[in-house]
Amino acid sequence: MTALSHLLRAVCCGLLPGLACAAPAPLVLAFSTLPPWKIINADGRASGPYLDIVRVLAERVGHPLQLRRCPLPRCLALAASGEVDLMIGVRSRPGRDDKLDFLSPPFAGGTPLSFIQRRADGRPLRNYGDLQSLRIGVVEGSTYFERFDSDRSLIRDPAPDSQSSLRKLLAGRVDTAIFNYGQAKWMLEHMSSGAGLKFAAYRVHNSELRRVALVRASPFYSLKPRLELALDGMVKDGTVHRLLAPIEEAPVSSR
């Protein structure tokens, strides 16, 4: 981002004394797809409950929301340069936490991770050890669980997004692919070729709570206390539950 762009964003955020925009400047959400929580509809529009959560959050602190669509690695790069303000659907990890401040409270509990195989593939995938001989589809820039992320002996095959990873699996270019369980379930139900795929027996419990991330380099970073207060209200008044309920398998408890 250029110095002039930073200056203009600062002015529109009301961060320069004596200057302000006629209307509140938008908060910019870095939007990478994560079905079913963040999707692009057939008409090209972004949608999903994660988008709805952030839109309501922005409204509650008095700002409109603007989207910046990007693959996950690009979204993270935009966060590092302060060109976006918020992210959702990403995990706290070393190397990210210096760029992203994960807001409290968490808005929902963790969801399990699962592996998908071709239905005709009879090779067992019942435990972590069974991964050793397989080429595993992953999404570039994504993290999964500590053992998996740090295991250099595994053969990973990155794709730009989850749909591309699933297409690699269908084409036989990878042996299995790892997804959030709810994400995999949605894709198998909505893809015409989903009947040719199956869930492996191996599944990983994920206890990591889900959070909205505020970009540390954002000119809106001073909004953090107000954002956390608004998010807490959304959890306690049932707004988050209502937005997630249509796609979540279990109710989201207030925290």
Domain limits, the chain: 3-109+209-244, 113-204
The mean pLDDT of 216-232, rounded to a whole number, is 98
Asked which of 49-58, 214-223, 238-247 is least confident by mean pLDDT, the reply is: 238-247
**Three-state DSSP string of 22-83:** CCCCCEEEEECCECCCEEECCCCCEECHHHHHHHHHHHHCCCCEEEEECCHHHHHHHHHCCC
Higher pLDDT, 255 or 1: 1
- Answer whether residue 14 shows pLDDT above 70: no
Q: What is the mean pLDDT of the chain?
A: 89
Token pair for 71: 């693959």
Helix axes 224-236, 49-60, angle to 10 degrees: 120
The DSSP element (H or E) to which 181 belongs, if any, is helix 181-190
What pLDDT, on a 0 to 100 scale, did the predictor assign at position 24?
A: 87
- The pTM is what? 0.78
CA distance 212 to 103: 6
CATH, domain range 3-109+209-244: 3.40.190.10
CA distance 224 to 231: 10
Q: What is the DSSP letter of 107?
A: S
What pLDDT, on a 0 to 100 scale, did the predictor assign at position 8?
A: 54
Higher pLDDT, 254 or 130: 130
What pLDDT, on a 0 to 100 scale, did the predictor assign at position 64?
A: 97
The mean pLDDT of 48-55, rounded to a whole number, is 98
- Answer whether residue 193 shows pLDDT above 60: yes
Cβ proximity of 126 and 203 under 8 Å: no
Domains 3-109+209-244 and 113-204 equal at CATH topology level: yes
The mean pLDDT of 31-44, rounded to a whole number, is 92
What pLDDT, on a 0 to 100 scale, did the predictor assign at position 53?
A: 98
Query: Domain 113-204: which CATH class?
Result: alpha beta
Cβ proximity of 182 and 248 under 8 Å: yes
